[in-house]
Amino acid sequence: MGLLIGFLGGVFGGLVGLGGGTVMIPLMVGLLKLPQHRAHGTSLVTVFFTGLVGALTYGLQGSLDLKAALFLALTAILTARFGARFAHGLSERNLKRSFGWFLIAVSFLLLLRPYLAPLGLVQGELLQDLALLLAGAFTGFLSGMMGVGGGTIMVPAMVLLLGMPQHTAQGTSLLAMVPASLVGAHTHLRLGNVDRDLALGLVPGVLVGTFLGGELAHVLPEGALRLVFAAVLVWPGGRYWANLVLGLWLVLSPWILGFSGTSSATWNAVLLGLAVGLLSLLHLQGGPLWEEWANVVLGVWLILSPWILGFSGEADATWNAVIVGLLVGLLALSVAREKPKTA
């Protein structure tokens, strides 16, 4: 089972450029009933190996900034230990809740990452070095706490603050997290939060899966992939919040995906996004059961709307409506079926 979970985590990560921990941890907790703390520690063991192989691959392509990786690693090594110990001190419930919020944040960054521009907001060598040290410290702590790699934080920081090309930033973050993940994994091991037998199965699975996912990423539509996997991350992060996130995405999607010139698709996305979001807020406030079934209906409409409203020729708008419609409907249905009948 460890080999399969590692493989699935690797495929998901390779497809969208994320570490497999964001997928493996929910699978280990959900399928293997592993305690949250042990899932985080066991996942971090794989980060070391995927970072090592990934950094080597990027290095052969010349997409590494060794100085930036050194500065990031210097502070990440120090804070990864504290992050692991902080996670160990949390209750099972609070660690699960923290990981859920982390997944929701990662889903937003995943959707926005293609639109990051190398702005170079920080000028001057001294300030840039300081920015790298701070980014490394924050990322190391999160990595040790959450049991995942640091690319989600490091890559946007290097692209936006230093003006580094995204491909180079990705390779640099992988290299920086090799020593940091080793320190974090060792700390979790000493605290008893690593399942050694499971880790032995995860490592080969995630390496093979990452390679396969990277190959598949070249033949599948990137925008649709990012949307699907962002929703996959949101689901374990909190289904009750997921449709609120999807509603916000719908409102913004015409400008993010570039179909705002198609008025029917734009108005459909904005109005349906507002409706889905408002209904989700009703649920979070303890609203009646009907609002989840209303979201199921809105999900069905989203799926059919490209052909009803006549914008099926706009590929991005069509994929967006169909995928979000499926996710909204399934999420609402799963929550409605769990809600007590007396609600």
- At CA 296, angle to CA 294 and CA 299, rounded to 5? 110
Could you give the CA distance from residue 20 to residue 153 in angstroms, rounded to a whole number?
15
Which residues lie closer than 8 Å to 119 by C-beta, 6 or more apart?
Answer: 159, 160, 161, 163
Mean pLDDT of the chain: 81
Which residues lie closer than 8 Å to 276 by C-beta, 6 or more apart?
Answer: 243, 244, 246, 247, 250, 295, 298, 328
Global pTM value: 0.68
Q: For a pLDDT cut of 90, what percent of the chain falls above it?
A: 28
Q: In this model, does residue 265 exceed pLDDT 90?
A: yes
Q: In this model, does residue 105 exceed pLDDT 70?
A: yes
Q: Which of 38-52, 55-69, 304-318 reaches the highest mean pLDDT? A: 304-318
Q: In this model, does residue 341 exceed pLDDT 60?
A: no
pLDDT, position 17: 56
Report yes or no: 181 and 146 within 8 Å, Cβ to Cβ: no
